[in-house]
Amino acid sequence: MSEIILDRAAYAHNLAQIAAKVGGAERVFLVAKDNSYGHGCRLCCEEAAKLGFVRAVTRSATEAAQIADLFDEILVLSHIPGGDEDERFCYAVNDLSYFARLKRGLKIYIAADTAMHRNGIAASELDEALRLCKQGGFKLCGFFTHFRASDELSGDFFAQRQNFIEFKRLARQKAAAAGFGNLKFHSSNSAAIERSAGFEDEYVRVGMAQFGYPQFDESLNLRPVLKLYADLISSRVLKKGERVGYGAKFEAPHDMRIGTYDLGYADGLFRYDGEGELALASGQKMLGKMSMDSFCAEFGGEQVCVLDDARAWAKHFGTIEYEILVKLNSNIPRRFQ
Ligand SMILES: *Cc1c(COP(=O)(O)O)cnc(C)c1O
């Protein structure tokens, strides 16, 4: 059976590097959304909690419920307000309408729109937000923003960071006047952490860096955590000139042993269509078009390592490593080793 093996030492190393850079594990919101970027939410969070991490970010309350026992504070980013929220968690307020739709008295972080225009309130809406916050009896934990271009080498990131500094100044002042205190702020994701020296926010939010993929800062020495393995379903010798798979895409240039392995695009792998060369992490070339539940490759024994660095697949398919990893089906068994 195919499986995902997570490298415990690499994960602990990455987390330690991040904590050291930002000034402590307690300053880190671990982003565990979407099954921890395909790595396995519960598994990774258990590991991180043992290492002293106390905060997490999820996409939904359903995800948050899976790890509720592990962290002191969980922020739910993309909840659609329904009035029946779980009070154990903090909810992102993504626009002003949330105040009327969320259960009264909940813990909230207000998202600040500082240039991305995806979610959040504008600085000009602060007064109204604080009024609604008070009216609904919400417990205001603080404010956060998200950078639109922290992973691009341009001045955009610095300009937006300046917007947030200004937003913070206003928010602190207005919130204090409205009687809200002890507010926390956060803005940096992985790429922003990598390109910053000091952190004036109380917290940071770390997604991809924990899994070992740096955007810039090679000095952090991050190491990929996930390895994906497939098992042999069957094997045969292709005679010179025989063709394998759908559309007969690959033709054997000489007699060769091939293997059919038990992973396909139903497992969340991008569908290799036999164009260009795509080698498995263990070295064998994929042959012909990938099937739904299997692929063919040069024979590599009973088990092959399909992927140990998502950047190779991202390059082949013209996407980012995030997309390669997050699509790995949650049905694939995962374990730390
Ligand atoms: C996904 C996400 C993050 C984490 O981003 P990385 O680049 O993976 O570190 C942080 N904040 C928000 C709001 C996000 O949606």
161 lines ligand 1 (CB under 6 A): no
45 lines ligand 1 (CB under 6 A): no
Q: Kindly name the residue from 21, 33, 168, 227 that is annotated as catalytic.
A: 33
pLDDT 10s per residue in the chain (337 long)? 899 999 999 999 999 999 999 999 999 999 999 999 999 999 999 999 999 999 999 999 999 999 999 999 999 999 999 999 999 999 999 999 999 999 999 999 999 999 999 999 999 999 999 999 999 999 999 999 999 999 999 999 999 999 999 999 999 999 999 999 999 999 999 999 999 988 889 999 999 999 999 999 888 999 999 999 999 999 999 999 999 999 999 999 999 999 999 999 999 999 999 999 999 999 999 999 999 999 999 999 999 999 999 999 999 999 999 999 999 999 999 999 9
In three-state secondary structure terms, 86 is: coil
Asked if 128 and 136 touch (Cβ cutoff 8 Å), the reply is: no
- Tokens 């970010």 belong to residue: 57
pLDDT at 199: 86
**pLDDT score of 198:** 86
Closest CA to 57 of 43, 85, 82, 78: 78
Question: Which residue of the set 50, 239, 240, 246 is catalytic?
Answer: 246
Q: Provide the pLDDT for residue 217.
A: 85
Structure confidence at residue 80 (pLDDT): 97
* Predicted local distance difference test score (pLDDT) of residue 226: 98
Residues of the chain within CATH 3.20.20.10 domain(s) are 8-211
Ligand 1 contact, 21 CB (< 6 A): no
Going by the DSSP 8-state scheme, the letter that residue 219 receives in this structure is G
CA dist 146 and 172 (Å) reads: 18
CA–CA distance, 201 with 185 (Å, rounded to integer)? 5
What residues contact residue 18 under an 8 Å CB cut-off, 6+ apart? 28, 193, 206, 209, 210, 220
Distance 5 CA to ligand 1 centre (A): 24
Q: Which residues have CB under 8 Å from 273's CB, separation 6+?
A: 249, 289, 290
Against a cut of 0.95, is the pTM above it? yes
Counting from 1 in the atom list of ligand 1, the atom nearest the Cα of 146 is: 13
Q: Which atom of ligand 1 is nearest to the CA of 322?
A: 8
d(CA 204, CA 226): 23
Angle (deg, nearest 10), helices 8-22 and 41-50: 60
Where along the chain do the CATH 2.40.37.10 domains lie? 226-336
Q: Is 246 a catalytic residue?
A: yes
Please name the residue whose Cα sits nearest to atom 6 of ligand 1: 207
Q: How many Cα atoms sit within 13 Å of 2 on the Cβ side?
A: 26
| 275 CA to centre of ligand 1 in angstroms | 33
Say yes or no: CB of residue 210 within 6 Å of ligand 1.
no
**For residue 27, what are its two tokens?**
């300053």
The CATH H-level superfamily of 8-211 is Alanine racemase (3.20.20.10)
Q: Nearest residue CA, atom 1 of ligand 1?
A: 207
Beta 295-298 vs 256-261: how paired, if at all? Answer: antiparallel
Within 8 A by CB and 6+ apart from 26, the residues are 52, 53, 54, 55
| Residue 188: φ, ψ to 5° | -80, 130
- Element containing residue 172 per DSSP (H, E): helix 156-177
Q: How many other CB atoms sit within 10 Å of the CB of residue 197?
A: 5
Q: Which two tokens stand for residue 59?
A: 């996409």
> Which atom number of ligand 1 is nearest to the Cα of residue 206?
9
Residue 224 has a pLDDT of: 98
According to the annotation, is 292 in a ligand binding site? yes
Ligand 1 contact via 55 beta carbon (within 6 Å): no
Q: Which CATH number fits domain 226-336: 3.30.160.40, 3.20.20.150, 2.40.37.10, 2.60.40.10?
A: 2.40.37.10
User: What is the model's pLDDT at position 104?
Assistant: 98
CA of 31 to the centre of ligand 1 (A): 7
Q: β-strands 28-31, 204-206: how paired?
A: parallel
Pull the structure tokens for residue 127: 């007064």
